[in-house]
Amino acid sequence: MLKGLAITPPILGRIAIGKVVEQGGKRLPQKDDQFTLTSQLQTKEGWIRHPLDEQLRREQEGKLRRIPIRLLFNDPDLNLRAEYALFDRQTARPLCVGDGEQCKRRTREGMETLPCPAPDACPLAQGGACKPYGRLNVLIGDDDPLGSFIFRTTGFNSIRTLAARLAYFKAISGNRLACMPLELRLRGKSTRQSRGTPIFYVDITLREGWTLEETLAEAQRLDRERESAGFDQKALDRAAKAGFANGAFEDSAEESADVVEEFYPDLTATEQTAHRDGQGGSSGQPVTLADKLQARSQQPPPASPPQEDAEKTSRKEAEHPADERQPTTQRQAKRA
């Protein structure tokens, strides 16, 4: 196996909420209030829809807001990988990924493992360059038992809800998460921060018309059927875990470009200035984000004033209070 290359589940298509559109000569993400299933092919007009998209849409009268799914793995962390991710907007390369405790960062010296204080406390994450980034793999249909559709998101609501649901379903099913018939559901809510505008996020629920008891009974039946057929779910989970751990970054160079375009569309003011002015030394090439991160991490802390000078200043202030150090013209004015 090639080291440094993350081995991820085979992808048959994408699950998206919205699309990337061209406005004013720029390609910008546009949100939607429904799912779209696409293939892995795209044209100038965008991603080509998967045949399952039309099939599911007919069953729901046009608006695709529920997708029946199963999961590949019993381990929730294998189905949903969530981390803080920082991408270089100019090169579309992932530079730093972390979990709030440790991060893997690409530097000039190579890959380094460093403490991760999370975006709120990290000086490299200023300007929203670092975001929560989640990837969920699910099975749709019965054509390929190991081929999945991937849903990517930088939405905190989706990541938190999906993580909680997967953990709960694993617990109540007796570690039969991969055998449960479930569905992705699009939900909406409004907050004061959104000023009443609906915010859509993704949830995993029981399938429409199924009770919890029916779902658990089906999971037990499928688990027995797979075991009798020789299906080794534990071995599948171990293989997937080893594959993810084989590389520092999960997204390939081709995937990263699409991820950055959809989820990291805005350059920070610093990057815009550097890119426009062509800063970057004598070569005249724009400075990359990796160079800025490297330079910022190497900046020494601000020097404090020498102790001797500070003591002299304190003694001087004590000998001459502020109200006695008035200009001569002011003292003369008072005498007049």
Average pLDDT over residues 143-165: 95
In a domain, 233, yes or no: yes
In a domain, 134, yes or no: yes
In a domain, 122, yes or no: yes
Res 231: pLDDT: 97
Query: Domain containing 91: what range?
Result: 65-263
Mean pLDDT of the chain: 80
pLDDT, tens digit, 9 for 90 and up, residues 18-55:
776 666 766 666 678 899 999 999 888 788 999 999 99
In a domain, 222, yes or no: yes
pLDDT, tens digit, 9 for 90 and up, residues 265-303:
654 333 443 333 333 333 334 445 555 555 555 555 555
By percentage, how much of the chain surpasses pLDDT 90? 48
Please identify which residue in the block is written with the tokens 């990263």: 256
Q: What is the DSSP letter of 36?
A: E
Average pLDDT over residues 213-235: 98
238 burial type by CB count under 10 A (0-12 exposed, 13-18 middle, 19+ buried) = middle
| Low-confidence winner among 121-135, 185-199, 282-296 (lowest mean pLDDT) | 282-296
Res 314: pLDDT: 52
Give the C-alpha separation, 83 to 106, whole Å. 16
3-state SS track over 263-281: HCCCCCHHHHHHHHHCCCC
Q: How would you classify residue 235: left for phi > 0, otherwise alpha for psi between -120 and 50, otherwise beta? A: alpha
In a domain, 221, yes or no: yes
Res 80: pLDDT: 97
| Low-confidence winner among 131-135, 148-152, 291-295 (lowest mean pLDDT) | 291-295
Res 331: pLDDT: 46
Strand, helix or coil for residue 306: coil
pLDDT band for 4, please (50, 70, 90 cuts).
Answer: confident
pTM score of the predicted model: 0.75
Is residue 208 over pLDDT 70?
yes
If one compares 205 and 129, the residue with the highest pLDDT of the two is: 205
- Number of domains present in the structure of the chain: 1
Q: What is the DSSP letter of 287?
A: P
Average pLDDT over residues 204-213: 97
pLDDT band for 83, please (50, 70, 90 cuts).
Answer: very high
In a domain, 276, yes or no: no
In a domain, 191, yes or no: yes
In a domain, 322, yes or no: no
∠ CA 316-321-327 to the nearest 5 degrees? Answer: 100
